[in-house]
Amino acid sequence: MRTKIVAGNWKMNKTFEEADNLIVEILDELDEKGKPDNVDVIICPPFVYLEMATDIAEESNILVGGQNVNENDSGAFTGEVSASMLQSMDVGYCIVGHSERRKYFSEDSTLLKLKVDALLSHEIRPIFCCGELLAEREAGHHFDVVRTQLEDSLFHLTPIQFLQVVIAYEPVWAIGTGVNASPGQAQEMHAFIRKLITGKYGEEIAGETSILYGGSCNARNAPELFAQDDVDGGLIGGASLKSEEFIQIIKSF
Ligand code: PEP
């Protein structure tokens, strides 16, 4: 069966010392209380803390991911980070297509497709974010929006490649707002996504694909969200910055 995953997206938060402390606290608490065997825990700190994170995580049972990647392999792209660089630092996952990147950095489906390809060619698993704006949901277009996002950036992949992808459904209106999708809304969209994958890649691959929920997920609402049949965990923003809350979310299954 598919893997349950709780991934923390730290975004642009924490000083070096705070980041170091947070990782150590997460590991200490997981050591003390035990990490559930059936849950993969991934932390996605800012690039500048990846080396520290991978060094600490090497001895542990947590995984490390990036928050972004450039689509090119190397060259004159000042300020950017490539998939080959991430691979050389033992980074196993990378978020792609987060709504903040789509909005503030104008990342579109064509670019995201190239980023997904770059990651896969360096054996890094993309955590691909999709999700609709509030206006799109209110207009009843949310299913079409998500379908197009998946078709345009992921459905060119071979079945073997697609098996490496983790999907995160993140309704934009729920990100950082304190208003999460209801468990029913999340389940409805996750089931829709799984059906799309079934149509493209077949039931077996769809059944193996982890689909995470993201958007104001916290220790209080995670148990009910994660109890939905097609919700395989969460991509957690704000609540991943506090070790105790993050651990509680990990233990919500
Ligand atoms: C996110 O940014 O991926 C996210 C889910 O944020 P938050 O949990 O803060 O809504």
Exposure on the CB side of residue 195, measured as CA atoms within 13 A: 9
> Are the C-beta atoms of residues 164 and 125 closer than 8 Å to each other?
yes
Active site residue 170: yes
Helix (H) or strand (E) holding 6: strand 4-9
Residues with C-beta less than 6 Å from any ligand 1 atom: 9, 170, 175-176, 214-217, 235-239
d(CA 209, CA 220) in angstroms, rounded, equals 25
Nearest CA to ligand 1 atom 3: 237
Active site residue 51: no
Query: Residue 226 burial by CB count (10 A; 0-12/13-18/19+): exposed, middle or buried?
Result: buried
Print pLDDT tens along the chain (253 aa): 899 999 999 999 999 999 999 999 999 988 887 788 899 999 999 999 999 999 999 888 899 999 999 999 999 999 999 999 999 999 999 999 999 999 999 999 999 999 999 999 999 999 999 999 999 999 999 999 999 999 999 999 999 999 999 999 999 999 999 999 999 999 999 999 999 999 999 999 999 999 999 999 999 999 999 999 999 999 999 999 999 999 999 999 9
